[in-house]
């Protein structure tokens, strides 16, 4: 006597396969995330590779090799001229960090700031009492921050794999889509999957290129603005805030907090002007540059973006924040394509009616 019928066995087998797939994702999440970033990096370089192939009449491999050579030379020149200043200022910030922590915990920073800015003795006393009451929480927050920085630093070597893996994606452009389509027997399935792959391709390409352009704009504006405002450690802070612009929503806020906090604890005199500069740039970037550069390609509501970013941060930290928007845009494309596909099927075969009979075979001659 059979314990399970065929349908129950198929359902259990499907659940088992899904469970194994989720277990694999959990165990190999670093590798999967590295491959996802490699795909995004390949999308960024694909127009340049195609342009080199067309203009210089190079093969695919030659174009990829030439592009990587140019990128290496450009990065080398950048770090040769700007790198020493970044390293020096970052080292100074690292050496001053323990001093800042001690001054905050002891209340010395309150006395110094109060004397410089004309705070009353009662205000200074209240702030010192607040710091003393929450000293344990401040210490735990500092320890948690240092732990997160250590975790990020320990996983930086995975970043080096991204451009290497991207080479394989660039060399095999279009072959993965063709391999997927070859596995589908029905023409309607091939049309659906082909359109879906093209939509996903457009979404990812537009997103990664827009993010790179927005980050480059922010990096240039921060470096020039901080130098003009004479902000302490202007180059290091400009690079940090500019690179954090690459992380949607949370990155710019974190960058502004780092810049204002460093300026505050460095006794910077024009703190209000710096805050106004950061606020004005945020308005320009969010309400002028981003809509024009993104061009509405992702077509995601602001509330959905906020939900995705917060959920991504809760599940996977900084990586989840960055990948949440392209994943949500991909899911939206899948949903739109699936509804269109289902609607087309309903028009071809009305619900409740059998499919039309196949045409009769031709009589043998």
The predicted-structure confidence for 137-146, as pLDDT tens digits, reads as follows 766 776 676 6
Q: Over the stretch 88-132, which tens digit does the pLDDT of each residue have?
A: 766 666 666 666 666 666 666 666 666 666 667 777 777 777 777
pLDDT, the chain, mean? 75
Proportion of the chain above pLDDT 70, given as a percent? 68
Category of 268 on φ-ψ map: left (φ > 0), alpha (ψ -120 to 50) or beta: beta
CA atoms within 13 A on the CB side of 119: 17
Residue 248 has a CB neighbour count (10 Å cut-off) of 21
Asked if pLDDT for residue 184 goes beyond 70, the answer is no
Distances, alpha carbon 96 to alpha carbons 92, 172, 221, 238, 253, in Å: 6, 48, 26, 18, 23
In this predicted model, which residue has the larger pLDDT, 164 or 96? 164
Question: String of b and e for 306-329 (b: at least 16 CB within 10 Å)?
Answer: eebbeebbeeeebbbbbbbbbebb
pLDDT at 363: 45
pLDDT at 281: 92
pLDDT at 275: 92
Alpha-helix residue ranges (DSSP H) falling in 82-186: 83-106, 108-117, 121-133, 135-154, 157-171, 175-182
The residue-averaged pLDDT of 71-96 equals 75
In this predicted model, which residue has the larger pLDDT, 256 or 119? 256
Category of 301 on φ-ψ map: left (φ > 0), alpha (ψ -120 to 50) or beta: beta
In this predicted model, which residue has the larger pLDDT, 291 or 203? 203
Asked if pLDDT for residue 359 goes beyond 60, the answer is no
Asked if pLDDT for residue 361 goes beyond 50, the answer is no
The domain spans of the chain are 174-346
The residue-averaged pLDDT of 217-235 equals 90
Does the pTM of the predicted model rise above 0.75? no
Q: How many residues does the chain have?
A: 365
Q: How far apart are CA 68 and CA 361, in angstroms?
A: 57
The residue-averaged pLDDT of 268-279 equals 89
Question: What DSSP string runs through 161-227?
Answer: HHHHHHHHHHHTTTHHHHHHHHT--SHHHHHHHHHHHHHHHHHHHHHHHHHHHHHHHHHHHHHHHHH
């Amino acid at each position: 006597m059979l314990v399970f019928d065929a349908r129950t066995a198929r359902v259990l087998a499907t659940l088992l396969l899904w469970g194994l797939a989720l277990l694999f994702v959990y165990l190999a999440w670093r590798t999967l995330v590295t491959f996802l970033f490699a795909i995004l990096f390949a999308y960024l370089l694909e127009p340049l590779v195609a342009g080199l192939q067309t203009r210089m009449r190079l093969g695919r491999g030659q174009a990829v090799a030439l592009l990587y050579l140019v990128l290496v030379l450009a990065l080398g020149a950048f770090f040769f001229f700007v790198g020493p200043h970044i390293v020096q200022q970052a080292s100074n910030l690292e050496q001053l960090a323990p001093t800042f922590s001690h001054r905050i915990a002891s209340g010395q920073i309150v006395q110094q700031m109060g004397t410089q800015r004309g705070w009353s003795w009662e205000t200074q006393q209240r702030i010192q009492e607040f710091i003393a009451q929450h000293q344990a929480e401040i210490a735990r927050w500092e320890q948690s921050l240092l732990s997160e920085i250590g975790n990020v630093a320990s996983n930086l070597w995975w970043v080096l794999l991204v451009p290497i893996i991207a080479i394989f994606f660039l060399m095999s452009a279009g072959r993965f889509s063709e391999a997927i389509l070859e596995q589908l027997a029905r023409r309607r399935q091939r049309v659906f999957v082909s359109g879906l792959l093209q939509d996903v391709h457009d979404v990812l390409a537009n997103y990664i290129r827009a993010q790179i352009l927005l980050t480059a704009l922010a990096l240039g504006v921060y470096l020039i603005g901080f130098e003009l405002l004479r902000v302490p450690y202007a180059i290091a802070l400009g690079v940090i805030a500019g690179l954090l612009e690459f992380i949607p929503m949370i990155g710019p806020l974190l960058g502004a907090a780092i810049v204002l906090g460093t300026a505050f604890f460095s006794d910077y005199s024009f703190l209000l002007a710096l805050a106004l500069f950061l606020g004005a740039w945020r308005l320009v970037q969010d309400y002028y540059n981003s809509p024009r550069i993104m061009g509405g390609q992702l077509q995601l509501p602001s509330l959905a973006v906020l939900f995705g970013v917060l959920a991504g941060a809760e599940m996977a930290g900084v990586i989840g924040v960055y990948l949440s928007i392209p994943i949500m845009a991909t899911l939206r494309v899948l949903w739109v394509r699936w509804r269109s596909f289902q609607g087309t099927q309903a028009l071809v075969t009305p619900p409740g009616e059998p499919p039309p009979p196949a045409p009769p075979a031709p009589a043998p001659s």
